Amino acid sequence: MQGRAVSSEEGKDLPVANRTNQTKALPLRLLQLFVLFLLVCIAFSGISIYTVRRFGIQSMVTTARSSFQPCYEEANSLDRWIQPPSDLLHNMSDKELFWRATLVPKIKKYPFRRVPKIAFMFLTKGPLPLAPLWERFFKGHEGLYSIYIHSHPSFHAHFHPWSVFNRRQIPSQVSEWGRMSMCDAEKRLLANALLDISNERFILLSESCIPLNNFSLIYHYIMKSGYSFMGAFDDPGPYGRGRYNLNMAPEVNISQWRKGSQWFEINRKLAINIVEDATYHPKFETFCRPACYVDEHYFPTMLTIQAGHLLANRSITWVDWSRGGAHPATFGRSDITEEFLRRISKNHRCTYNKRNSSTCFLFARKFAPSALHPLLELAPKVLGY
């Protein structure tokens, strides 16, 4: 019995001894961890002090700031409102884009130094074969122009990084000649260009257009004009009033029906008028279908009704219709001579700011890709660039 009692008591005492040892070991473990943590902190502090002394505190602050990206846009800076979009390939729908593009400040005097620019808007099917000629034309005039390209949505341009056309494509949709989708593409170009507050004048061009004068002459000619260059003729014949549909009334009466070239130049006010239009668009989309070609009638008619006094009623893009047919003549390598270029760029008769002028056309079309090489050779001598 005594042996069992001793065994029993010894069995009870063993756990108590273990707990006592563990209790004594626990503070020692915590002390070790604390010492290790302290050593790490001292080492980190030493490295930080060495880095500051070696590279300077400013570089560390700059690095920290550059890695931080705010999740909101600062509203307390004017730059947010006046800087053009850095990336033209936005994800806005046409409805959203048109709304954004037509926001107009009520105060006309700008609180910053605004340098007016010309927006060159290229409506193309695909590539720009005459791009090298245009790049020479633009060279040295940065800050006075913007470029926008509306091509077939399946086409993706590949320009050199140094090209003025690099990354200048806007979100596009399919457009058909003579259909409202063509005018929608033009409105899309205008709306994207309006997002840049410095764009004051807007020129619609095709991939087959060339400039007939140097940049400085064209810039001053357009900026000093009191009128926008869009043809808006009252044509009584079958290709004018003959295309009018009585269902256009009352928004458009036959006396207001106008015809003009698709290739225009307009100021900012008229560009906003076109983009914000929701009155005339449905009428033309429904009742102007081939053989009524909407791109020849929609903008000339609408702007005649809204602001006819601002139109010069002529185009500044030369074309040759003398060969007949639905499309103007196309010029290739064999057509490009010094005499030809002088003939189309000089000695015309027109009105500029209500005065007679011999400088009437600033651009010309249609030029085939094969015309590029002779154009590059003759442009410095004949066209001035």
* 305-334 tens-digit pLDDT: 999 999 999 999 999 998 877 789 999 999
- The tens digit of pLDDT for each residue in 151-172 reads 999 998 889 999 999 999 999 9
- Mean residue pLDDT of the chain comes to 87
pLDDT reading at 91 higher than 60 = yes
CA 8 to centroid of chain Cα atoms: 93
State the Cα–Cα distance between residues 378 and 353, nearest whole angstrom: 31
CA 168 to each of CA 9, 151, 203, 347: distance values in angstroms, whole numbers, following the listed order: 92, 11, 15, 35
Confidence band, pLDDT 50/70/90 cuts, at residue 85: confident
DSSP designation for 132: H
- The tens digit of pLDDT for each residue in 192-232 reads 999 999 999 999 999 999 999 999 999 999 999 999 999 99
> What pLDDT score does 80 carry?
80
Element spanning 265, H or E = strand 265-267
Spatial CB neighbours of 186, under 8 Å, sequence gap ≥ 6: 121, 123, 150, 204, 262, 274, 295, 299
247's tokens: 């269902």
350 beta partners: 357
84-105+112-315 topology per CATH: Spore Coat Polysaccharide Biosynthesis Protein SpsA; Chain A (3.90.550)
State the Cα–Cα distance between residues 182 and 329, nearest whole angstrom: 21
Which of 6-10, 72-76, 321-325 is most confident?
321-325
> What pLDDT score does 12 carry?
38
Q: What percent of the residues of the chain are helix, what percent strand, and what percent coil, each to the nearest 5?
A: 45, 10, 45
**Nearest alpha carbon to residue 169 among 180, 156, 183:** 156
Confidence band, pLDDT 50/70/90 cuts, at residue 78: confident
% of the chain with per-residue pLDDT over 70: 81
- Number of neighbours of residue 249 by Cβ within 10 angstroms: 13
pLDDT reading at 43 higher than 90 = no
DSSP designation for 84: P
Annotate 2-35 with b (16+ C-beta within 10 A) or e (fewer). eeeeeeeeeeeeeeeeeeeeeeeeeeeeeeeeee
Confidence band, pLDDT 50/70/90 cuts, at residue 26: low
117 beta partners: 199
**Location of structure tokens 């806005």:** 92
